[in-house]
Amino acid sequence: MDNSRDYGIALLRIAMGGLVLVHGAIKLFIFTPAGTAGYFASLGLPAVLAYLTILLEVGGGFALIAGLYTRITSLALAVLMIGTIVTVHGANGFVFSNAGGGWEYPAFWAVALVAQALMGEGAFALRFRPTQTVAA
């Protein structure tokens, strides 16, 4: 793979990781976990999903920034984005500037995250590779 492609893939990965991390940090530090759980419950969702969402957004954000488990993290976050469409944004119409936010923005996120999963981590990634053992 040529360097410019590798750098572009890394740029996408790091930018998405940073933005996902910010969303998780807002839920963690501003809305608080209890407040986020209360909001999820008001939507008819199990409150435990709020804690899992915070964990996925914070942990997934850091993982994408670092380039760790990029493919699986991206797919997990894409599922989360599709979940926001199904549970919250889908009923608000397409355009995200609609009241309550439409599904345009999370749909784009889901597609970008799937693209990231297909491309891998790109440059500047920490990679865990299984160690090779040599049979005696």
| Phi, psi for residue 98 in degrees, rounded to 5 | -65, 160
Amino acid 127: pLDDT: 77
**What is the mean pLDDT of each successive set of 10 residues along the chain, which is 136 residues long?**
88 98 98 98 96 98 97 98 95 92 95 98 83 59
Q: Where are the alpha helices (DSSP H) in 1-136?
A: 3-25, 33-42, 48-66, 70-84, 104-119
Domain boundaries, the chain: 3-119
| CA–CA dist 66, 58 (Å, integer) | 12
Amino acid 3: pLDDT: 85
Amino acid 133: pLDDT: 60
Task: Give the helix/strand (H/E) hosting 127.
Answer: none
- CB proximity list for 29: less than 8 A, separation 6 or greater: none
